[in-house]
Amino acid sequence: GDRVATLVLGGRAADVPLLQLCPGAVRQAIEVEGGAEWLAECRRGREQLDAELPCPSFADAVADTRRLARLASWEERLPLCYQLPPAPPRLLQPWRVGGLTLRNRIVKAATFEGVTGAELVEFHRGVAASGVGLTIVAYGAVTAGGRSFPNQLVVRGDEAAGTLRDLAAAVHAEGGRVAVQLTHAGYFAHDALSATSHFQVDLMKWRLARKMTDADVDALVRQFADAAFLCAGAGIDGVVIHCGHGYLLSQFFSSPSGARVPMRVLRAVRAAAPQLLVICKFNVMDGPGDTATLGKATQFALQVQREGVVDMLVPSGGHVLSNGFFMLRGGVPLARMVSRAQTAAMRLSLALFGALVIPHLEWEPAFFVQGALALRSAGVDLPLVVTGGVHTLHTAIWVTERLGLDGVGMARALLNDPELVRHWEKSNTSHQTCDRSNLCAIRSTFEQKPLECYLRRVTDW
């Protein structure tokens, strides 16, 4: 990004950053210092991209997620005229979804912020100011007993309504849209509940969860509907119903009732707040090699599509107790997790079982794109947002242009480079330095401190 070439045009010389070269300048260049080999390399790289990125079949698309790890490096090596089409890419154009128009197809994925109240408002105001189309507030518990962290937003009561009103106003003032993720943590929650068995052990907190009764299920459906209604009244644009990662709604997929309870929740949410954008996040796989979950997920997605209760789908994966970093990939800072855990029981559990339940998984670009493509190939026409492993402009354009999927969700990349979207809007590459250490996630969850990038930290770590 800092390399310069001396261009001689019409007898006048000027130092020009290579990443600012436009197509005309390249064609008209009379002399580029040491540039003949560099330009030939760029052309070879572009030919390689054109040859390898098109994905005519699902199998090719799956294989491309591996190739892209190597090809993504071209983003820092090619001049900008080779990176973007002449017109703004689909990624950066306004997107009409549900009843909303988003300014682009970039979503700030839900990541636990570690703060509430005014700090939560300011966090998402900053995200909206960065230029994303939609920012998602993480882990809005539908009841106080459904929290997994004490410093977590509970979407009930006048205090929450006031925070959400301020949040909506702040995000809208920056030109963005905001959704709140609604969830109940199930057997990770303060009031531990299980959808699948009479007793479920949470090894991190060493306690038993109680199996839900029919009355519990009825109350749960009302709590989700009430939370959605409160969000709508506060001016929030949408809600994300969290049906993944081992939380309570996802547990029903492994029970005899299957998707019956999650469907009840989605219907109730739609009825309570029909004006909201309703998004559903759900697992397409629970861990490496899991093929059974995708079949259930496909049937679920087709059902919500038939009933019209959801406007957007976010395929995800992983389970907090059995594969905690499957939804993140990259580094597993286990030593820090042990040392910073909030209780002695958690420290002991992580020391004994951490390596088993949080295995290291190599990061790769767009690592949930296979699930999204499988849903599309099965007839799911609802908008699909690919989260996980979207860190570069090449990856984002590959997902939305080459594969024809509808949007991308990002978190760590935006924490590392808050101006990422602005760089892309100006046809510029991001200078983000995210090393996928996942220390940011540990800070907000295990340490219960405000979420921020370790490499850009401004507070004491």
Query: How does pLDDT run across 413-451, given as a tens digit for each residue?
Result: 999 999 999 988 886 566 678 999 999 999 998 888 999
Give me the mean pLDDT over the 212-217 stretch.
94
Q: Say which amino acid occupies 412.
A: R
27: pLDDT strictly greater than 50: no
Residues contacting residue 324 through CB under 8 Å, at least 6 positions apart: 318, 357, 358
Distance (Å, whole) CA 425 – CA 256: 48
Residues contacting residue 450 through CB under 8 Å, at least 6 positions apart: 113, 114, 115, 119, 123, 443, 444, 459
Contact between residue 432 and residue 84 where contact means Cβ atoms under 8 Å apart = no
Residue 114 region by backbone torsions, left for phi larger than 0, else alpha for psi between -120 and 50, else beta: left
Contact between residue 375 and residue 313 where contact means Cβ atoms under 8 Å apart = yes
Distance (Å, whole) CA 329 – CA 9: 48
Q: What angle do CA 401, 407, 409 make, to 5 degrees?
A: 130
Q: Which residues are catalytic, by number? A: 247
Give me the mean pLDDT over the 155-182 stretch.
98
Give me the mean pLDDT over the 156-166 stretch.
98
Mean pLDDT across the chain, nearest whole number? 83
Distance (Å, whole) CA 258 – CA 87: 46
pLDDT of residue 440: 93
Distance (Å, whole) CA 370 – CA 194: 30
pLDDT of residue 196: 76
410: pLDDT strictly greater than 60: yes
